[in-house]
A and B are shown apart, each in its own frame.
Chain A
Amino acid sequence: MTDTPRPRPLRVLAAMSGGVDSAVAAARAVEAGHDVTGVHLALSANPQSFRTGARGCCTIEDSRDARRAADVIGIPFYVWDLAERFREDVVEDFVAEYEAGRTPNPCLRCNEKIKFAALLDKALALGFDAVCTGHYATVVVNEDGSRELHRASDMAKDQSYVLGVLDERQLAHAMFPLGDTLTTKEEIRAEAERRDLAVAKKPDSHDICFIADGDTQGFLASRLGGKAEGDILDEEGAKLGTHDGAFGFTIGQRKGLRIGHPAPDGKPRYVLDISPVNNTVTVGPAEALDVTSLTAIRPRWCGTVPAAPGTYTAQLRAHGGETEVHAELVDGELRVSFQQPVRGVAPGQAIVLYDGTRVVGSATIATTSRRAATQATA
């Protein structure tokens, strides 16, 4: 029923970031009897020598850590230069999305366009059967051979959200050795230690790998030109202050508004809307963040396309909780209504639909509605 062990050994390409998860994943693939080759993706045209802080996955040091792990595991190791593809498909997309007032998730984009597209295609062409990563998610093979993507056994580590963009074909060649077992991060580290992998104690990477210092606003400012001053408005359109560029804001953001004077009701104000065309940012009270329905585009299904409207659980952020939704597909667009209003939903983010632990599919949020949903709950 589960992904491993398999009846026959596969030729597996293990994507190794230089971190502990992907190293243990590669080691487990070897242990499962597969013929494994490690590959580190060079995603930055000008890699920094060393990590700054605990984040990032594009440094020379990470590449060396990955190579060292591959040597200990005893598998061939290569570095593939996908910097150009990464720049085009992930970084430029990230910048363009922010510029358009949306909040993209580059990790999903990377899985869809790089790890399970550029990398997978090259791997298949070179005779590999599967790409293995250190993601915490589970692939279930049905008796008819079809595949399902499920949440990891350990819900706390589950990363199925960022894999929700994978379609059936991509899934057919994906291997996630860490998702099948109920393992905590501490146990993975202990396992790495047991396997003599020097990355056992390496800090987790987080945030956005191509923004090494973690300063997303600074990165966007450098990419989208200098400061473009615009207005901060309230819900009625009255000017409350100014900002240095609409792209620097995220819906639901509270800090850094610098409005200076309190709202009439004395409650904190949050970013409700970003309009890059007018370069305005609209703020209002927390209640105004309540989203009751949304539409989402570019749906991708991890299996058969759901024919009829249905009830699912949805996840709206990488580490967000689940919420009950009703969803239907209308003219290729996903219409979703929430049983309970949710906050902090921004266009550009991905909504991933689940049926129990099974990933049904994902789509990119296009519009949100803050009033009671009507047409979406047909």
Chain B
Amino acid sequence: MSVKEAMGCKEHFRKAVWETPFHARTSALNIVNQWHAWKDYTTADAFFDEQLEYAAIRNACAVFDLTPMTKHLITGPDALAFLNRLVTRDVAKIRPGMVGYTIWCDDNGQVIDDGTIFHLREGVYRLCSQERQLDWLTRNAFGFDVTIVEDTHDVAGLALQGPTSCAVLKAIGCTGVQNLKPFAIGFFQFHGTELTVSRTGFTGDLGYELWIEPAQALELWDALFDKGKIHGIRPMGTHALEVARIEAGFLAAQVDFHPADQTIMADRSRSPFELDLGRLVDFGKPCFNGRRALLAEQAKGSRYRFVRLDVEGNKPARSAYIYDKDKNVVGTVTSAEWSPSAKKNIALASLHMPWGRPGDELWAEIYYQRELKWYKVMARCQVAEQPFWDPPRKRATPAQDY
């Protein structure tokens, strides 16, 4: 029985966490047997060695099972108008066959979630998000001729990320995939079914996301690992992906910001500007959720600034307080890792305004343990203007084999 079938029956409670369509393969490869629950599914923390899995992302290619990601199919004559009212950016600019990263806000201009809009075919959209959105989408659909269906369980998804990812896809029969531009979608035949490939990902590198019917999931996995072997393919877990995600400077809901519709206290949610996502707000659109509040914020100023920090030393500044030169708390780190590619100690942080300006003196308070003894360091932080990892191959089209 699948989780989707289980939802139709009273006895579903006998199993709380389910397996994705790739589980037969991922479980065989997961020699460390480390898993955690991601929404309905169990998902791998790691497979064999987090550092080597990470290395595969940057050096060859690695595969991540993203089936549990929430997906909504949005169709109907008003699909575009509906999405344009929902999100902050101009969805009309996402042409058929393209993907757009976006955020959406509540009426107070606070970010509910971020995600990607796949313009699969003319007027057919898929919205992928961290949190489930059926309630919010439905509430936003008054007056629009639009159909919204959550189809998370109908699509199996894999991320194939890294410099050799294009070579692997060509090897499994995705002819011409190298010509897909960043954020473009291609459709390929795979063993008699349609394989959707988008040049997207969460690693800030050359990489693709693959979407297929769950029944074909294992065949896809096997083909990738069969043809990918000579290209250094490896499975990766969430821990390796997390390092790559922070290097790329991508946000994670529930980590770098708290979804506004689940936030109890008013000062704990964030606006797009407060997440350094002002570029995704298009005031040229006459009407979208949060527009009025965001215009007011622009006039009045934001409460917070989201920054990338280059932290002195090599101790990751996880959950650290950030201080100014007078030892006042001016913010907190939301994500932090040692960056193996940049060879830097990196962090994402939310600071109170006006801190985070170029030249501001900032310090992270870091605690770490050696042989059960605790140490504290105050590490100087520099605000970084660019992502810590942004290789030209990420954008190069046609994609090379590397």
A joins B in a complex = no
B interface list, Cβ under 8 A from A: none
